[in-house]
């Protein structure tokens, strides 16, 4: 299954060690609708030693179901994308 990737606006907090903690995100889906995820939980993240990007497996409840998605911060471009994930296994 091919995953769609969308440019996204992310609000994040950086702790005193420089670690990123995403809080909410907003993006346009394939229909052009603005989707805002105000309450997200970071389930897992890739290594802080990755020099290219940071990937955060996140979850939220939408339409009475737990939904997974991946927030990716591209370090060299200072941009964020969001990608849909069906499960934690798909993130791996």
Q: Which of 58, 91, 88, 52 is nearest to 73 (CA)?
A: 52
Task: Give the range of the structural domain holding residue 56, as residue numbers without chain letter.
Answer: 5-90
Q: Are 24 and 11 in contact (CB under 8 A)?
A: yes
> What pLDDT does 92 receive?
57
Output the pTM of the full model.
0.81
Indicate the number of domains in the chain.
1
Mean pLDDT in consecutive groups of 10 residues from the start of the chain, 92 residues = 78 92 92 92 84 89 90 92 73 57
- pLDDT on residue 88: 62
For residue 90, the model assigns a pLDDT of: 61
pLDDT for position 84: 77
Rounded to 10 degrees, the C-alpha dihedral 8/86/21/45 comes to -120
pLDDT at 46: 84
């Amino acid at each position: 299954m091919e995953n769609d990737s969308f440019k996204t606006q992310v609000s994040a907090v950086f702790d005193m060690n420089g670690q990123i903690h995403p809080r909410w995100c907003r993006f346009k889906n394939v229909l052009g609708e603005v989707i805002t995820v105000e309450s997200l939980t970071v389930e897992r993240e890739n290594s802080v030693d990755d020099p290219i990007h940071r990937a955060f497996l996140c979850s939220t409840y939408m339409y009475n179901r737990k939904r997974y998605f991946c927030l990716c911060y591209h370090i060299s471009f200072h941009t964020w994308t969001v990608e849909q994930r069906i499960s934690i296994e798909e993130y791996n």
